[in-house]
Structure 1
Amino acid sequence: MTPEQFIQTWHKKNLNEEQGAQAHFEDLCTLLGVPKPRDLGHYCYERKGALAEGRTGYADVWKDRHFGWENKAPGENLNKALDQLKRYASALHNPPLLVVCDRERIEIHTNFQNYPTEVHRIGLLDIGTPENLQKLKWVFTDPDKLKPLKSSAAITESAAAKFGAIAKAMRAGETDRNKVAHFLVQCVFCMFAEDENLLPSGAFTSLLSKVTQDPDRAASRLAALFKTMQSGGDYGDIPVEWFNGGLFKHIDIPTLTQNNLQQLHSTAAEYDWRAIDPTIFGTLFENGLESDERSQLGANYTDTETIQKIITPLINEPLLAEWAQVKAQIIEHKKTTKSKGKKASQEVKAIYEAFQLRLSQFRVLDPACGSGNFLYLALKALRDVERFVSIEAQELGLAAELVMQTGPHNILGIEINAFAAELARVTVWIGDIQWCQRNGEPLSSRPILKPLDSIEHRDALLTPEGQEAEWPQADVIVGNPPFLGGSKKRGELGSDYFDALAKAYSKDRVPPGADLVCYWFDKARIAITNGRLKCAGLVATNSIRGGANRTVLDAITRDTHIFTAWSDEPWVNAGAAVRVSLICFGESTQAPLLNGSLVGRIHPDLTAGENGNADNDLTLAKVLSSSQGTCFMGSSKKGPFDIDGDMAREWLLEPNPNCKSNALVVRPLCNGLDITRRWGDRWVVDFGTSIPLSEAAMFEAPFTFVNAHVRPLREKNNRDSYRKFWWRHAEARPGMRKALSTAFRYIVTVAVAKHRTFIWMNATVLPDQATLAIAREDDSTFGILHSRFHELWSLRMCTFLGVGNDPRYTPTTCFETFPFPDKLTPADTSHQQTESVDGVLIPAQLTDTASNKARSIAVNIAKSAAHLVKTRDNWLNPPDWVEWMQSPEEAAAGFPKRAVAKPGHEAELKKKTLTNLYNARPAWLSMAHEAIDKAVATAYGWTDYTPAMSDDEILKRLLALNLIRATTSAAETSAYDKETDDDTNQGD
């Protein structure tokens, strides 16, 4: 069939819908050369869809994953046909295309998830153009070809960027930034309402086009439009609906310029504002704020699939499970009831209405709602549940409800920033209107925007009087509380607020060193235990699994349980990639789900356990007194005390008025990069822990440098001690210095690194705060620390940082909980008690009093460790590539020699790093570690150890040993109690 024949056949053919629909469709298939519908299950006529208004509905034609098709007689209202098809869409697997046709017109409406709707209209007389024939063929063969070029997210991001530029320009002429923000939110809603036909077409865009040259007139007319939207009525000769909802309660137009108005008009005209994605719009709109406010708000942009990992187990799954029970009850009642006729129908209806009331009264609270993306997705989930329930209820013979029971009244929020709270309301309003439009549900009316006073603008943690704030009662809590590290809280929040938090929330509930997000977790736990909440799902950085942060998860698993968790997910916070944990806890009958897999239970560190079995619950581990006072965080400078090697060596040559060498206050520095890469010839000015200002000034060059570079910064610091003793490092670690004072070497590792590696460091080198110093000299301790057993333990006891998700080693959690082999604990291996045996250092007491077996075990570990160090050092610094340099002054001070590349080997030597070595992990390195593992396993008495032994088995054995040794609760507290001090003092 040719296009001309098709047009001639169907032009002005007087047939009703039933007479002409299928014949028209089959002729269209012939024209396009595509198969005709057959009863194949996936491509057919009369596909049963949703039930509408108490009767069964059918899509006239349906092809799975392609389209739903609704036919009408010529001249009928295709919008009604489209609404009808939308109501069927979910039962039709949400086809990507919705097509309506009256034989004179074919309209193709795109329906792709997370993409805007586009409409392709094809008149019968134009059907033969190559472009139209191609579009129609794609409907049958390749619907993705009709997918809009830009996703809703991309359009939203572009629109928000435009508004950010407008906001910046408007703030230049208006001192009240909140006035600008409120006005722009009103403008955004007007653009959306106009494109959704809630405002008459052109009401807003035409207004702007007519007044771009007259800012005063523009302000007057915009105020008049907003006032009319506030209560409804006529705007000139244009009828305007009653919008209300609080958005237009306050009308205060900021100072406008011609440029502002031109930008607003072009932005309104450029975009189809129906396509705005409500899940990200508010957050992106916040980017129009100044950068300092964005930081304060903790703005983030995360895909809806990630957020659904919280919404689904808290809302969709439990409510649908409840409905399944109600549905079974209705079916059983129909089977067994003795009532007949009207009475039986009323009894079934009462059962159904009780569940509808449950949906209507269901409350979702986000107590840190930001711009409302969690709230909108929660509302969408409730709407989706009700729609699904309605379809199934009608299949049971129950009448469809005229009005949906769920809506914005189900949503509660708390937000400390007034602008973000307003954005949250707009996000919910826009999102709900979009949901209704796309699902063929009638919109709210009289007013269109129901009040959303339930989204409150206030502090979620403290009242103005400094007391703990109360939250409204809810069924579930969802949200993404602000990410703010424990060590940064005082600086970001201010000392007064920080102290008020500590006063309102005891350290047993939330330690002062915990991240800010922990307060939300704890308050949700309290609400659950008090019966004011059933369950909660919150986002936190993945560091909540350990340290002071884990205190709140310990309490949660004590008082209730974690039923769904994703321990380590990517996230974007304030434009930066981070790693987070998603945690759902509270009352739930769902089987525990960890990272998408069913488990027996979920431990506080978000690892899996077996029901009734605590053998692998490392959160039970205790700090061991035998390991304390050995591992220290390096010196925290809090100022630019660093200098390069050339300057340091010049200073070593200079005299001082006190006749003392600058080597006493200038020394080599070791930071994380010096370990993972190569030493960068970094040095540091170090006036120790007690040198007074008058004595420090006697070291002229170093003091002059610190006075010029450090003092101006430190005098602005919030901490009194940092300001008062500005010439010293902020946290100089006197305990560490004392422990290292008699050593000739110590063991050092990087606090945060991909690989857990240890190296020997000359005791004259100062460890930086990014490193951990272990005050031991013996090779046996080095070998134990570099064994598989200690690495596994540290990886389970550590926290993780950054987008690289690198493990963070801490003295308390990783070192002081680790159970060393008997007779080789840190208590057995102090500096003053080491002796050389066969060229390696072992604890001296093993040469004096221990059995030959214990001494032999220690020597074997030490030799294996020494072999690892020697071969590793040979790889890092090949003798043919390196020469070792040292000035006479460096030698006199005992400073170590420096490895310098021989000419021609500079580029090659740069690649010789520990990170590169352990990334490659050559066979010789693996064998060296296996030798250490075998020797250390012998020290534990594990005669059955092989490299094939599972990690879980090793950790179970180590935990059992830890708990056996932890006999006195006073000295050996919880593995994480002391982390508060560690985190607070690190100061970064």
Structure 2
Amino acid sequence: MPDISDDIAIARFVDRWRRNEGGAERANYVLFLMELCDLLGLDRPNPADATHDRNDYVFERAVTFRDGVDRTGHGRIDLYKRGCFVLEAKQSREPGGAKEVALGATQATLPGFDMAARGRRSAHRGWDVLMRNAREQAEQYARALPESHGWPPFILVVDVGHAIEVFADFSGQGKNYRQFPDRGGYRIFLDDLHQPQVRDRLRDIWRDPHALDPAKRAAAVTRDIAKRLASVNKLLEDRGHRPEPVAHFLMRCLFTMFAEDTGLLAAGCFTRLLDEARAAPDRFAPLLEGLWMEMNRGGFSHVLHCPIRRFNGGLFAAAHVIPLHREEIGELYEAARHVWTEVEPAIFGTLLEQALDPGERRRLGAHYTPRAYVERLVVATVIAPLQREWEAVVLGTVERERTADPAAAIRAVHDFHEKLAGTVVLDPACGTGNFLYVALELMKRLEGDVLEVLADLGGQEALALETASVHPRNFCGIEVNPRAAAIAELVLWLGYLQWQMRNGGAIADPVLETLHTIHVGDAVLAHDPPAADGSLPRPRRPDWPAADYIVGNPPFIGGKDIRGRLGEAYATALWKAHPKVNKSADYVMYWWDRAAERLTEPDTRLKRFGFVTTNSITQEFSRRVIARRMAAAKPVSLVMAIPDHPWTKATRDAAAVRIAMSVAEAGTGEGVALEVRSERGLDTDAPEIVFATREGRVNADLGVGVDVTAAEPLRANAWLCSPGIKLHGAGFVLTETALAAATTHADTLPLPVSNYLKGKALTGIRQRNYAIDLTDHEEAEARRRWPGLYQHLLRSVKAARVAQAARAPTKDALDYVARWWQFGKPRPELRAALTGLARYIGTVETAKHRVFCFIDAGILPDNMITCIASDRPFHLGILSSRISLEWTYANSGLIGVARFEQGHRYTKSNIFDPFPFPDASESGRQAIGMLAEELDETRETVLSEHPDLTLTVLYNLRAAIGRGEALTPAEEDQRRRGRVDIIAELHDRIDAAVADTYGWPVDLPAEEIVARLVALNAERRAEERRGTVRWLRPAYQIARAGLTALPAAAAEGQQIEAALQAIVRKPRFPRDAVGQTAAVFAELRAGKPLDAETIARGFAQGRKIERRVAATLEALARLGHVTREGGGYRLRRAA
């Protein structure tokens, strides 16, 4: 459709609808919007479909939303365009002339609130309430849209014939719709349609709304500037300049560029200085040094020949200028030519740090966090609670107005603004300040809404009372890197000044205040000066500034890497300072635990905290930190959690890092867990992520529903699962050719070598490798009997271990040096468990597809293979079933899209050890075992006949077929040769047989499977406390436990009662009545009827407490909590 948006058409449109203001909304809004579409050259909305499935651009789009706990409501969106906007139309009753009142431009303004820029507004309070209510209604409709539609980026509120108000939220969360593009321009009056940029903005809202996302253009501009600064920095480094003076010099340069583009300096003055200096480089240093000295003190500038403001703030206290060559000045000139008002502070700090750090420069622009990801956590942690409080205030003001108490309404809004202006946000690992900046901008946007309402209520008189505002002083940080801390301060000021300039806010002198809100130091460890031996005396936790909210992204260092990355002395001191955090927890958990402690302290002002963490937070060691805080006497609860989320921008050179997010409050409230359902554009500055949301009690594993963390290890599974050999020296592994070259005629036969299987080889191309295994041999013996192999290890292993110990002299590293000719972790427990077996079960620790298979017992497994010391096909079948797979997913913390696109990790402690194998009949064991044996033989036959095929290929094809994808001819050939359909059928048969053995339907939903397994785990643990263990390998495990010999009649899996006191200390029965009741409840949760004698045997006092247990059972029966069944008691089932 042609664009007819010329002045005549616009004038006719404006005149036609202005004359019809005050008409009937329902009669006019459809015609008004269709004519607006014609005016802008846009397609008109489509006819509505009866089923709503295809109603993606229609009037009166029906939605259903929750209305209370158990009721639903229905509504209709006036105009909806999927992926673009929700539009709510109203038509006020006031005639145009009375409604349009110009606000006095000479009136005093509050910093950040430009009355003149607001244009015309209503002289009637009823109009403002009408528009505010329409906006709230539109947001409710957006919440009610189908989950598959996602959140529209725009909310439009139309007063037919008068104005269009525009609100945007590009984060995809729907929690932070704010005036767009700013407070001065979000309200489009009909006369504004004469402006081409306004018409273009409306077209983009209809056609390509994300093109309006300022983060997109800002990110591109910011990257180019950072690359030019990096180029200058490198040239100066190559000339011998020290990094810190160069960094501060460049930061002064970039702020001067910013100042000339935002009106703080004369427009283009610095760019002209640079342009002139390209022709005469010798003039560059004295001119710029003079300018910076003048900027520091303010007054008349002899360099610019005009008065300039006083900047101060420490940045220009040192005006030292590094003389530059023509090429370097040229790079600064090109950077200055950019529009600095478009720089994105949310990523600028990260890119600047990369530009100034030689070690990080290679990653410049390829490894940073898109703003949308940062905003997701900041909104959940800081903005959401403030927004809820503000919404309550707004509702209250409407009620006070209704009761004719406008003064009380003004006081309520004023009080909230005072509170907002005093809100302090802390990032205790602030880096270059991206989280603090995003928090600042979003709080300024909220402040804009507050001041808008205040002006609506009391006009200039009410605004004149507001003296405080959200300011960089509200944002505190702790950062160990001094340069990053300096950049963080700069980023906050850039963001604040950008906001003030865009919104007509006043900026007082000095432009840059000295605030000292960014503290340089370690946030989790303080200590006295290092001792002579390198240790860190008197380790303790540092104090953190008081704050209302804590948000941040602490360093990503795994628990096992802390000692190696940070040093023995630091790790030891850290553990002493945080005795309640287990030593295997990830480094980020020290921040998490400290924040949780602050959250639950008496009289704390902290209301909520949120952190980005490694996604291994859902695994055992880090998860324990959360679980302990959630179960404490003063607990915390998770109000928002995302267990798996992309973090850094993905490029060809840098894969997307995966993280988790968690937000906590004090108490035991419920929250929401977000599961990633789809991801697009991870290599762009505006990635699109679709979530499924679940509300309820969020567990320590960051999931809602069944709490898999409640499952605990079973003795029945003990001593069977272990990772394979950990070499700590690549020289131990040799190919057949390399082995022949390493041996000599003097090496005694047989050689101490074993077949060695790497993790990648188990699911990938099978390669024959050998490992030199001197586990049972002393150094002198090895040197004497196998001199060739010994010399090979001497050259390839010993030197590397000695060097590693010198870099990080940990206990393990020193032990590896002392036993340098042996594997680092030879796994004696695994070797003992495999003794006497002809084969065992193995699976790759981290894999896309969870595949278990038999491995010959003569093969040494790599550390990346998780081994189960069983040769029984029944166990292979259970582990290969869907029931086992759903348990693995639930306990590995990878859900949603990650199941299919990310590798997940199979761990002994939280997946195998607590997994309750079924109590199968002999016929059930045989049926499952036969299917598992056939599955394993089929795969091995395929791999031996077709060396180009791998388990990964076979299971990729199986997954593709299951999703109904079309295969290429090459894939069809692989499918045929790989017997993929037979493998899939065998898995289906195994799934059915295993489900039957558990006594469950084969098509149970994943959550139900996990819930039943958790319940079965609780039942088995209760049995084990009473002395009944369903051993997987009774002969080995009972002997390993040091118990009495296995009765001759006992069979595998049979209930075997043993004197477990030899290895287990039973809990004591509590003394108080409340504790006794809780203990009896816990025993009854096993699900089977229990009598007093059986329960008493599970406690240390045994039969001495039987009468007390019986009395407790009787009391519970009288109260209706338990029912008698047979000779015992069972918990009453809920209806």
- If the TM-score is normalised by the length of the shorter chain, which range does it land in? 0.7 to 0.9
Kindly indicate whether residue 765 of structure 2 is the aligned counterpart of residue 765 of structure 1. no
- Deviation readout 1:284-328 (Å, 9 max, x if unpaired): 112213454679999952222222222223333322221232233
Kindly indicate whether residue 730 of structure 2 is the aligned counterpart of residue 640 of structure 1. yes
5+ unaligned residues in a row in structure 1: which ranges?
Answer: 1-5, 10-17, 24-29, 72-82, 113-135, 338-343, 610-615, 825-853, 882-900, 902-906, 975-988
| CA–CA distance in structure 1, aligned partners of residues 205 and 659 of structure 2 | 41
| CA–CA distance in structure 1, aligned partners of residues 765 and 499 of structure 2 | 57
Kindly indicate whether residue 773 of structure 2 is the aligned counterpart of residue 686 of structure 1. yes
* Structure 2 equivalent of residue 866 of structure 1: 933
Kindly indicate whether residue 574 of structure 2 is the aligned counterpart of residue 484 of structure 1. no
- Over 3 Å counting, the alpha-carbon distance change for 1:345 and 1:653 in structure 2 is closer
- Deviation readout 1:131-156 (Å, 9 max, x if unpaired): xxxxx999999999999997111111
* Structure 2 equivalent of residue 520 of structure 1: 591
Kindly indicate whether residue 567 of structure 2 is the aligned counterpart of residue 567 of structure 1. no
Identity between Structure 1 and Structure 2 (%): 31
Does the CA contact (< 8 Å) of 2:892 and 2:905 recur in 1?
yes
Aligned-residue offset at 1:211: 3.5
* Structure 2 equivalent of residue 450 of structure 1: 513
Kindly indicate whether residue 782 of structure 2 is the aligned counterpart of residue 695 of structure 1. yes
SS at match of 2:259: helix
Equivalent positions of 1:477-876 (< 5 A) are: 477-506=550-579, 509-530=580-601, 531-558=604-631, 559-572=635-648, 575-587=654-666, 592-595=671-674, 597-609=693-705, 616-641=706-731, 643-647=733-737, 650=740, 654-657=744-747, 659-662=748-751, 664=752, 666-688=753-775, 690-696=777-783, 698-718=785-805, 719-799=813-893, 804-822=901-919, 854-876=921-943
Number of residue pairs matched by the alignment: 836
Kindly indicate whether residue 529 of structure 2 is the aligned counterpart of residue 461 of structure 1. no
Does the CA contact (< 8 Å) of 1:298 and 1:482 recur in 2?
no
| CA–CA distance in structure 1, aligned partners of residues 619 and 993 of structure 2 | 30
| CA–CA distance in structure 1, aligned partners of residues 668 and 997 of structure 2 | 45
Aligned-residue offset at 1:67: 13
Aligned-residue offset at 1:173: 2.1
* Structure 1 equivalent of residue 287 of structure 2: 221
Aligned-residue offset at 1:243: 1.5
* Structure 1 equivalent of residue 1121 of structure 2: none
Structure 1 stretch displaced more, 797-806 or 863-872: 797-806
| CA–CA distance in structure 2, aligned partners of residues 431 and 637 of structure 1 | 51
TM-score, normalized by length of structure 2? Answer: 0.67
* Structure 1 equivalent of residue 417 of structure 2: 356
- Over 3 Å counting, the alpha-carbon distance change for 1:876 and 1:55 in structure 2 is closer
Does the CA contact (< 8 Å) of 1:755 and 1:918 recur in 2?
no
| CA–CA distance in structure 1, aligned partners of residues 642 and 205 of structure 2 | 39
Does the CA contact (< 8 Å) of 1:99 and 1:108 recur in 2?
no
Aligned-residue offset at 1:815: 1.0
Structure 1 stretch displaced more, 141-150 or 592-601: 141-150
| Partner residue of 1:383 out of 430, 433, 444 | 444
User: Residue 547 of structure 1 aligns to which amino acid in structure 2?
Assistant: E
* Structure 2 equivalent of residue 308 of structure 1: 375
| CA–CA distance in structure 1, aligned partners of residues 593 and 626 of structure 2 | 8
- Over 3 Å counting, the alpha-carbon distance change for 1:35 and 1:277 in structure 2 is closer
TM-score, normalized by length of structure 1? Answer: 0.76
Does the CA contact (< 8 Å) of 2:764 and 2:950 recur in 1?
no
Kindly indicate whether residue 470 of structure 2 is the aligned counterpart of residue 401 of structure 1. no
- Over 3 Å counting, the alpha-carbon distance change for 1:690 and 1:223 in structure 2 is farther
* Structure 1 equivalent of residue 139 of structure 2: none
Aligned-residue offset at 1:519: 1.0
| CA–CA distance in structure 1, aligned partners of residues 1064 and 420 of structure 2 | 52
| CA–CA distance in structure 2, aligned partners of residues 857 and 186 of structure 1 | 76
| CA–CA distance in structure 1, aligned partners of residues 213 and 864 of structure 2 | 50
* Structure 1 equivalent of residue 1009 of structure 2: 954
| CA–CA distance in structure 1, aligned partners of residues 636 and 949 of structure 2 | 57
- Over 3 Å counting, the alpha-carbon distance change for 1:556 and 1:173 in structure 2 is same
Aligned-residue offset at 1:490: 1.4
Aligned-residue offset at 1:714: 1.3
| CA–CA distance in structure 1, aligned partners of residues 222 and 749 of structure 2 | 66
Does the CA contact (< 8 Å) of 1:66 and 1:143 recur in 2?
no
| CA–CA distance in structure 2, aligned partners of residues 754 and 240 of structure 1 | 61
| Partner residue of 1:159 out of 211, 217, 225 | 225
User: Residue 816 of structure 2 aligns to which amino acid in structure 1?
Assistant: Y
5+ unaligned residues in a row in structure 2: which ranges?
Answer: 1-5, 9-13, 20-34, 43-77, 80-87, 104-113, 123-130, 132-153, 163-178, 529-538, 675-691, 806-812, 963-979, 1026-1062, 1068-1135
Does the CA contact (< 8 Å) of 2:647 and 2:657 recur in 1?
yes
SS at match of 2:730: coil
* Structure 1 equivalent of residue 259 of structure 2: 193
- Over 3 Å counting, the alpha-carbon distance change for 1:952 and 1:696 in structure 2 is farther
Does the CA contact (< 8 Å) of 2:673 and 2:698 recur in 1?
yes
Does the CA contact (< 8 Å) of 1:875 and 1:912 recur in 2?
no
| Partner residue of 2:269 out of 203, 222, 246 | 203
SS at match of 1:656: coil
SS at match of 2:379: helix
SS at match of 1:539: strand
Does the CA contact (< 8 Å) of 2:711 and 2:1018 recur in 1?
yes
| CA–CA distance in structure 1, aligned partners of residues 382 and 101 of structure 2 | 25
SS at match of 1:561: strand
Aligned-residue offset at 1:261: 2.5
- Over 3 Å counting, the alpha-carbon distance change for 1:143 and 1:916 in structure 2 is closer
Structure 1 stretch displaced more, 916-925 or 232-241: 916-925
| CA–CA distance in structure 2, aligned partners of residues 696 and 428 of structure 1 | 64
* Structure 2 equivalent of residue 933 of structure 1: 991
Structure 1 stretch displaced more, 947-956 or 192-201: 947-956
Does the CA contact (< 8 Å) of 2:433 and 2:492 recur in 1?
yes
| CA–CA distance in structure 2, aligned partners of residues 771 and 676 of structure 1 | 10
Does the CA contact (< 8 Å) of 2:418 and 2:468 recur in 1?
no
Aligned-residue offset at 1:199: 1.0
Does the CA contact (< 8 Å) of 1:547 and 1:799 recur in 2?
no
| CA–CA distance in structure 1, aligned partners of residues 211 and 996 of structure 2 | 65
Does the CA contact (< 8 Å) of 1:66 and 1:139 recur in 2?
no
User: Residue 766 of structure 1 aligns to which amino acid in structure 2?
Assistant: L
Aligned-residue offset at 1:479: 1.1
Does the CA contact (< 8 Å) of 2:257 and 2:271 recur in 1?
yes
| CA–CA distance in structure 2, aligned partners of residues 109 and 868 of structure 1 | 65
- Over 3 Å counting, the alpha-carbon distance change for 1:564 and 1:913 in structure 2 is same
- Over 3 Å counting, the alpha-carbon distance change for 1:158 and 1:50 in structure 2 is farther
Does the CA contact (< 8 Å) of 1:200 and 1:239 recur in 2?
no
Kindly indicate whether residue 430 of structure 2 is the aligned counterpart of residue 369 of structure 1. yes
- Over 3 Å counting, the alpha-carbon distance change for 1:48 and 1:518 in structure 2 is farther
- Over 3 Å counting, the alpha-carbon distance change for 1:797 and 1:142 in structure 2 is closer
- Over 3 Å counting, the alpha-carbon distance change for 1:694 and 1:254 in structure 2 is farther
Equivalent positions of 1:54-65 (< 5 A) are: 57-58=119-120
* Structure 2 equivalent of residue 78 of structure 1: none
Aligned-residue offset at 1:856: 2.6
| CA–CA distance in structure 1, aligned partners of residues 270 and 116 of structure 2 | 39
SS at match of 1:960: helix
| CA–CA distance in structure 1, aligned partners of residues 443 and 215 of structure 2 | 30
- Deviation readout 1:101-127 (Å, 9 max, x if unpaired): 7xxxx6748997xxxxxxxxxxxxxxx
Kindly indicate whether residue 344 of structure 2 is the aligned counterpart of residue 277 of structure 1. yes
User: Residue 640 of structure 2 aligns to which amino acid in structure 1?
Assistant: T
RMSD: 4.4
| CA–CA distance in structure 1, aligned partners of residues 436 and 215 of structure 2 | 28
User: Residue 350 of structure 1 aligns to which amino acid in structure 2?
Assistant: R
